[in-house]
Amino acid sequence: MNKRLIDPKESVFLDGPGKRQFELFFAFKVFREFIRGFRALHFVGPCVTVFGSARFKEGHRYYEEARAIGWRIATDLGMTVMTGGGPGVMEAANRGAREAGGRSVGCNIVLPHEQAENPWLDKFVTIRYFFVRKVLLIKYSYAFVIMPGGFGTMDEFFETLTLVQTKKITDFPIVIMGMDYYRPLQEYLKFMVQEGTISPEDLNLVLFTDDPEEATAHIGRYISQNFEVKKRNGYIPKWWLFERS
């Protein structure tokens, strides 16, 4: 990982209004991050993004389930597996895709403690800002799989779900895997319906399952009925933009 990307003063932009020069420079840095991400990932799709914890090791139940879903996405759907590019569930999903002969990409994040990209990636980009990373993880995907995870996974899940619910992005399928792990969340979503904070039909936006085959069948059926998947095979990288496929 490129250590020089870590800026110990980065959180200063949360301190409120700063000097105009600082605000402009920060805006340019964010714009540069987006351009780097767009150039790196322009030819990777169509993708399914898998979210989940970085903390599960090989042999753990959730690591192996993520590996299985990565394999299924590659074989059943013929789509690219995209993850946050790190270890744990992310590594497992990328690994499953590669082991199946499919394509595997990652969008890694710069953290104060090192999070190197996992070794199962065909292509990756390292991003400084979480909000830029989340845009990239959503932008190139037709479906989203939520494996067990912590705060970051919950953030990614609820932001994606909110974007779908509010029609800010297309009504893409969201699959939550890990029935035991997510049972309290499933019950809480039902409680939110009872309290009137979400609509009953909002529950239809998410499929809960433990079965990788059911997950990919749901994604494949939903996509085939509602979307025309745009493959990138006909697009040629532009050498003068320093692009690579």
Query: Which residue from 155, 170, 132 is spatially nearest to 34, judged by alpha carbons?
Result: 132
Give all domains of the chain, ordered by start, each with its CATH number. 45-228 (3.40.50.450)
Strands of the 104-109 sheet, one edge to the other: 123-127, 104-109, 80-83, 47-51, 141-146, 174-177, 206-209
At residue 4, the pLDDT reads 45
The rounded percent of the chain whose pLDDT value lies above 70 is: 84
At residue 227, the pLDDT reads 74
Say if residues 176 and 208 touch (Cβ distance below 8 Å).
Answer: yes
Which tens digits make up the pLDDT trace of 54-98? Answer: 999 999 999 999 999 999 999 999 999 999 999 999 999 999 999
User: In this structure, which amino acid lies at residue 209?
Assistant: T
CA separation, residue 233 to residues 45, 64, 109, 132, 229 (Å)? 9, 31, 28, 26, 12
pLDDT above 60 for 165: yes
Residues paired with residue 108 on neighbouring β-strands, in sequence order: 126
pLDDT above 60 for 46: yes
51 band by pLDDT with thresholds 50, 70 and 90: very high
189 band by pLDDT with thresholds 50, 70 and 90: very high
Q: Who has greater pLDDT, 170 or 38?
A: 38
Mean pLDDT of the chain: 88
Which tens digits make up the pLDDT trace of 95-149? Answer: 999 999 999 999 998 876 657 889 999 999 999 999 999 999 999 999 999 999 9
Q: Tell me how far apart the 2 most distant CA atoms of the chain are, in Å.
A: 56
- Residues 5-25 have a mean pLDDT of 67
Least confident among 32-41, 79-88, 97-106, 191-200: 32-41
∠ at Cα 189 (193, 215), nearest 5°? 125
Residues paired with residue 176 on neighbouring β-strands, in sequence order: 146, 208
Say if residues 70 and 81 touch (Cβ distance below 8 Å).
Answer: yes
Query: Which residue from 53, 52, 93 is spatially nearest to 74, judged by alpha carbons?
Result: 93
